[in-house]
Amino acid sequence: MKKITLFTKSTILACFILAATAVQAQIELKVQTEMSTRFNDVNDDGFGVTVYDYYDFETNSLTPLESDAFMVQANNNNGDVAGYMFYDEPEFILQAAYRMNGTWNPIGFTATQDPYNYDENTPYGISPNGVYVTGQSNIGNDYGSFLYNTQTDELLISLDPQGEASASYAVNDNGIMVGWVDRPDSGGTLRVPAYRTLDGEYHFIPEGQLPAVTGINTISDINSQDVMVGDFDLKPFIYDRATNTFTSFDNPGGADSAAFTSISENGVAVGFADIAFQTRDAIIYHPSLGEQPVFLKDVLIDNGVDVNTADGLLGTAIAVSPNGKYVTGWVNGAPPFAEGWMVYLDDLLLGTNQVSQTTTAFYPNPVQDVLHLNLKEAIDAVEVYTVTGQRVSNITINNTHTEIDFSNLTSGVYLVKVASNGNVENLKVVKQ
């Protein structure tokens, strides 16, 4: 039941009255029936993009792209979209482009690129504020990343200083581009998760350690708190740049390999696990679900939702909305022809759909120093976690009111787990 509400001191009494009117969360899965409808991204409104269409979860409808656009890769909450336009349609030469305020704009090429000699800019991501578009570029046989500023129209091609190939898959409002950089290895190259800051510096994670296993080894996404996700040595990871914390997770269900592909602003990470040859199943992680990632289909089944795909699996989860309520991807099969799916989780991963007679009042949010908690019944324990699942506070008490010290914590989003009378509520708190 929906239980978490933002309170001030003057509304604590009202929250207990409103708790009686809470309703059950509505969790839903919608699977497309048409081929080539795999999803690439989704925002907080359930507005998603496939390769060739826009999608509205509420109406379960697909709308073709505008005539001046060709394909789409990413979107944000402002309605901005990154994708392709034609540079030379008769020669079928594409260019990176973006849609802002309903209008598509070409990104073009740098003076050192020759689109008629196979130089390309492949768009993969757009920042939440719409300022940056990023992806992979090449100048001849040199492959790197590009960063385009929609405010200044500056197109930057970034090549690895050591001359190896690289790529960027996502960018946040701070202009941090995430992806991978190749490094020489015996008999070939070793792909290393890396991010690039606006000063032009490349940073490998985890610091001082290269992968031991040749795999994808990439940073797939980054949120506005500079929390990144990807895979390292065939296992999914979360990296918090603010605290320099690298957390590697186990592969669920004995899978051979797994990777996170996307992370929300409140720490919901999604991705996939390789469970058999050319067979994947979508995974999801959030501290409210446990210490390790789990299969998304199991979460849905546990909440009474049938997974009505051909093989009973969800294949690849490619994106989660910034608020953590929508997850999207495609079923198993060749990605260019695969059917897409989208899940609405409501407030499941904030713990607000639990059947409980306890409602927690908490204020202020955002918090600077002290977070106040009030319940109708005695609080048994309070735990505070980072979005990477690291516990930073654990308090055992027996009172209906308590205060949690946030003054020594770094800025970011935290999950506060409140236990009372056998019930647990998960509160999302922002530390300024």
The CATH number of the domain where 110 resides is what? 2.130.10.10
- Mean pLDDT across the stretch 113-138? 97
Work out the pLDDT band at 97, boundaries 50, 70, 90.
very high
Query: In angstroms, rounded to a whole number, what is the distance separating the alpha carbons of residues 159 and 85?
Result: 24
**Within-domain flag for 205:** yes
Considering 333, 350, 367, which residue would you say is the last residue of a domain? 350
**Within-domain flag for 298:** yes
Instruction: Residue 272: give the domain boundaries.
Output: 28-350
**Within-domain flag for 296:** yes
Query: In angstroms, rounded to a whole number, what is the distance separating the alpha carbons of residues 376 and 393?
Result: 23
Task: Tell me: do 286 and 326 sit in the same domain.
Answer: yes
Which among 388, 322, 324, 380 is positioned nearest to 352, based on CA atoms?
Answer: 324
Task: Give residue 400's pLDDT.
Answer: 82
Instruction: Read off the tokens for 222.
Output: 């980054």
> Tens digit of pLDDT for each residue in 275-310?
999 999 999 999 888 889 999 999 999 999 999 999
> Tens digit of pLDDT for each residue in 197-238?
999 999 999 998 999 987 789 999 999 999 999 999 999 999
Q: What percent of the chain has pLDDT over 70?
A: 91
> Tens digit of pLDDT for each residue in 162-180?
989 999 999 999 999 999 9
Task: Tell me: do 119 and 151 sit in the same domain.
Answer: yes
Which among 329, 265, 333 is positioned nearest to 42, based on CA atoms?
Answer: 329
Domain count along the chain = 2
Q: DSSP of 37-63, one letter per residue?
A: --EEEE-TTSEEEESSEEEETTTTEEE
CA distances (Å), origin 41, targets 120, 215, 252, 264, 332? 22, 24, 24, 12, 17
**Within-domain flag for 133:** yes
What is the residue-averaged pLDDT of the chain? Answer: 88
> Tens digit of pLDDT for each residue in 304-335?
999 999 999 999 999 999 999 999 999 999 98
Task: Tell me: do 79 and 63 sit in the same domain.
Answer: yes
With 50 as the cut, is the pLDDT of residue 11 above it?
Answer: no
Task: Tell me: do 132 and 279 sit in the same domain.
Answer: yes
- Let me know if 375 is exposed, middle or buried by CB neighbors in 10 A (0-12, 13-18, 19+): buried
Work out the pLDDT band at 359, boundaries 50, 70, 90.
low
Largest CA distance in the chain: 74
Task: Tell me: do 270 and 365 sit in the same domain.
Answer: no
With 90 as the cut, is the pLDDT of residue 116 above it?
Answer: yes
Considering 289, 319, 350, which residue would you say is the last residue of a domain? 350
Higher pLDDT, 421 or 333: 333
Residue pair 5/284 in contact (Cβ under 8 Å)? The answer is no
Task: Tell me: do 375 and 287 sit in the same domain.
Answer: no
Task: Tell me: do 293 and 388 sit in the same domain.
Answer: no
DSSP code at position 351: T
- Mean pLDDT across the stretch 393-397? 82
Beta strand 294-295 with 279-285: parallel, antiparallel or unpaired?
antiparallel
Residue pair 259/216 in contact (Cβ under 8 Å)? The answer is yes
Task: Give residue 432's pLDDT.
Answer: 82
**Within-domain flag for 174:** yes
**Within-domain flag for 157:** yes
Considering 350, 373, 392, which residue would you say is the last residue of a domain? 350
Strands (DSSP E) contained in 287-386 are 294-295, 316-320, 326-330, 340-344, 361-363, 370-386
Give SS3 for 15: helix
φ, ψ of residue 300 in degrees (nearest 5): -65, -45
Task: Tell me: do 226 and 104 sit in the same domain.
Answer: yes
Work out the pLDDT band at 356, boundaries 50, 70, 90.
very low
Give the H or E element holding residue 83.
strand 81-88
Task: Tell me: do 19 and 42 sit in the same domain.
Answer: no
Beta strand 142-149 with 316-320: parallel, antiparallel or unpaired?
unpaired
**Within-domain flag for 235:** yes
Work out the pLDDT band at 117, boundaries 50, 70, 90.
very high
Task: Tell me: do 52 and 191 sit in the same domain.
Answer: yes
Instruction: Read off the tokens for 66.
Output: 């505008």
Task: Tell me: do 138 and 222 sit in the same domain.
Answer: yes
Task: Tell me: do 319 and 388 sit in the same domain.
Answer: no
- Of 3-7, 57-61, 165-169, 381-385, least confident by mean pLDDT is 3-7
